[in-house]
Structure 1
């Protein structure tokens, strides 16, 4: 490399270095994306299997014999619609609303769909925590649990889920009160 070529190279490098050395400011939009990614990572860490209580019963035991009942709910798509109605009912309910107002409602709905789908013999995977870990410290009493079931029944009625199908699901969910009720 001759002197002139080296000089041009060094000048070009000298002009480029400040650009590489700059710490670009993060736009509000980029910061929002970074914040959302951090929130999702924290949420995933909170829901990791390691957070489960090893002594707690399986929160989504599969019952393949209930697959016809899942069909009566409209399959996974029907469960998703049901959870939208159910969450709206919970939020509107004077007693239940405070339990769900600050919760990640999309996550709760998604995990309920997964849980109900697995219980009803569907080809889903439950990614949530066990009931004991999920409800620890929430101060849920038997009346709260019963009210939640009532709101669920109203939602199922609104979606024309046959009464017998409702009862078959509720029979599988009812024993969970032992892990959910903390007061």
Structure 2
């Protein structure tokens, strides 16, 4: 499976930064014991919970919450869930903008990107996602940084 470089449109009021979480180009979802990463994470309900909690963390994070001031949060959550679902080998489809288009003109810093990753990690920790699965998700995310920062 090949996922297009991901994310949310700029018209979401800067929300595209969060889409960096939504995981980039992935040749195929990692599999262990015959299960996709999507299945190992617990499928769409578990992904939805992690994404929801990440959004709550971002809202409380003064380092980056200003990027989301005019964001349609329910739409953001739906898009992120679809991106993570597809990127981890699930049945969902993401159809948003690619990362470069979504972040053009935002001039996000590496610190902004890292803050979002920290908020995702907190969400995964609070949802008891095993460290190995967290690392697989973060490995999918890491290559997105150059498509997000300083665009």
TM-score tier by shorter-chain length is: 0.7 to 0.9
Residue 153 (str. 1) matches residue 121 (str. 2): yes
Is contact 1:60-1:116 (8 Å) kept? no
Residue 63 (str. 1) matches residue 28 (str. 2): yes
Which residue of the partner structure matches residue 176 of structure 1?
144
Q: State the distance in 2 between where 1:63 and 1:121 align.
A: 7
Q: State the distance in 2 between where 1:117 and 1:62 align.
A: 14
Q: State the distance in 2 between where 1:72 and 1:99 align.
A: 31
- How many pairs are equivalent? 130
Q: State the distance in 1 between where 2:83 and 2:25 align.
A: 5
TM-score (norm 2): 0.77
The runs of 5 or more residues in structure 2 that have no matched partner are 1-7, 13-22
The runs of 5 or more residues in structure 1 that have no matched partner are 1-42, 48-57
Which residue of the partner structure matches residue 98 of structure 1?
66
TM superposition outliers: structure 1 runs of 4+ over 4 Å: none
Query: In the TM superposition, what is the alpha-carbon distance from 1:147 to its structure 2 partner?
Result: 0.8
**2:88 aligned residue (120, 125, 150):** 120
The DSSP-based 3-state class of the residue aligned with 1:122 is: coil
Q: State the distance in 1 between where 2:36 and 2:70 align.
A: 35
The DSSP-based 3-state class of the residue aligned with 1:137 is: coil
Considering Cα pairs closer than 8 Å and 6+ residues apart, tell me whether 1 or 2 has the greater RCO.
2
